[in-house]
């Protein structure tokens, strides 16, 4: 059976921390920023750890 390839799009969008958590950026943080409040922009700018089924699916795509 051949080796599985890493899903390149997923690799560019998420990263795995040293403790094994999967981190991704939040969506909608790059455009239409004038009408968003500063607090909302700060919240969106942060990163979010994935857990549960989402994390399991991303691990599978990354081959981890």
pLDDT value at residue 64:
82
What pLDDT, in 10s, does the model give residues 44-54? 998 999 999 99
Interatomic CA distance for residues 64 and 62, integer angstroms: 6
Domain spanning 8-62, CATH architecture? Irregular (4.10)
pLDDT value at residue 1:
81
pLDDT value at residue 34:
94
Comparing CA positions, the residue from 22, 27, 23, 21 lying closest to residue 43 is 27
Residue 48 · residue 24 · CB < 8 Å: yes
What pLDDT, in 10s, does the model give residues 23-42? 999 888 889 999 999 999 99
Residue 61 · residue 14 · CB < 8 Å: no
What average pLDDT does range 46-63 have in this prediction? 93
For residue 13, how many C-alpha atoms fall within 13 Å in the half-sphere facing its CB? Answer: 14
């Amino acid at each position: 059976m051949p080796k599985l390839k890493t899903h390149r799009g997923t690799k560019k969008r998420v990263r795995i921390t040293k403790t094994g958590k999967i981190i991704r950026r939040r969506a909608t943080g790059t455009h239409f920023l004038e009408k968003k409040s500063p607090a909302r922009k700060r919240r969106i700018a942060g990163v979010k750890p994935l857990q549960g089924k989402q994390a399991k699916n991303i691990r599978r795509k990354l081959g981890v």
